[in-house]
Structure 1
Amino acid sequence: MAELVVYTDGASRGNPGPGGYGVVLIWGNVRKELSQGYRKTTNNRMELLAVIVALEALKKDGLTVTVFTDSKYVVDSIEKGWLWGWVKINFKDKKNKDLWLRFIPLYKRHQVKMQWVKGHASNPFNNRCDELATAAADSGNWLIDEGFEKGLA
């Protein structure tokens, strides 16, 4: 079975402000793109939401997935184990609890490796995600980031 490769990016116009995410999923010769905009959010929420949406798009459990993102926040939270420390303290004084709680069961369903990639560089898939995320942020076709707008983040 081919390894699934995922590229993600998040963007916001202002922090907070209108935002969006972009995702490119690649499995063998198959490529799928996902994006969505939100009327008021933060860049870190969009970076994390991009990874969540990518993992939610997977129909089978137990896949080997490599996620490439230019978000040090997302990569370090997972790869350096910060997330599991936050769980132990019930996310006291930590942001984006609602999204991290949505992420954890998805992460546990698969073998996920997070890889940092330099943003706005020569990686065409990361650049495509940036295009998708910024277009979604600028689209005016926004959803409401309820976690952020209700102060749950």
Structure 2
Amino acid sequence: MIEVYTDGAASGDPGPSSAGIYIKKGKEHFEFAYPLGTTSNHQAEFLAVIKALEICAEYFPGEILSFRSDSKIVVETIEKNFTKNEAFLPLLNEINAYKENFAYVFFKWIPEKQNGKADKLARQALKNSKKDSM
């Protein structure tokens, strides 16, 4: 089973945003940090999950994935497979399409303090993208 920690960050709402992804496979771990452009904080959280699914599709196809996120809105939307927010619907559809590549994918909400590595990566990407735009 692959453990996937995701976090999104945004400076402003909407504003420059980023994704942090920390993946554990046994004793190995992998870190990814991506700028996402201008989005809301919630959209950044969804996009972090999508980026993580893209990575896992490339490196861990067919595996069982255990996602952990400190975003209740993301976890609840994915678990219920429903959102009233039209901005989130295409993101949910993309997540559902990616989930087809894996034996099983489940999502768990975790407190912020348990998501420190993904948070650090997201903040790092946000800081670096701000530097690049100066």
TM-score by length of 2: 0.85
Which residue does the alignment assign to 2:69?
A: 69
SS of match in other structure, 1:82: coil
Question: Given the alignment of the two structures, is residue 118 of structure 1 paired with residue 111 of structure 2, yes or no?
Answer: yes
Indicate conservation of the 8 Å contact 1:10/1:21, yes or no: yes
2:5 & 2:37 partners in 1: Cα distance?
23
Which residue does the alignment assign to 1:78?
A: 78
Indicate conservation of the 8 Å contact 1:18/1:138, yes or no: no
Deviation at 1:34, TM superposition (A): 0.7
Provide the aligned length of Structure 1 versus Structure 2: 128
Indicate conservation of the 8 Å contact 1:36/1:133, yes or no: yes
2:16 & 2:81 partners in 1: Cα distance?
30
Which residue does the alignment assign to 2:97?
A: 105
Q: 1:31 aligns with which of 25, 29, 32?
A: 29
Deviation at 1:40, TM superposition (A): 1.4
Consecutive unaligned residues in structure 1, runs of 5 or more:
87-92, 143-153
Deviation at 1:100, TM superposition (A): 2.6
SS of match in other structure, 1:46: helix
Correspondence 1:1-153 to 2 at 5 A: 3-58=1-56, 59=58, 60-82=60-82, 94-110=86-102, 111-119=104-112, 121=113, 123=114, 126-139=115-128, 140=130, 141=132
SS of match in other structure, 1:57: helix
Deviation at 1:128, TM superposition (A): 1.3
TM-score by length of 1: 0.75
Deviation at 1:95, TM superposition (A): 1.0
**Aligned-pair RMSD on alpha carbons?**
1.8
- Compare CA radii of gyration and give the structure with the larger one: 1
Deviation at 1:105, TM superposition (A): 1.4
Runs of 4+ in 1 over 4 A off after TM superposition: none
2:5 & 2:32 partners in 1: Cα distance?
10
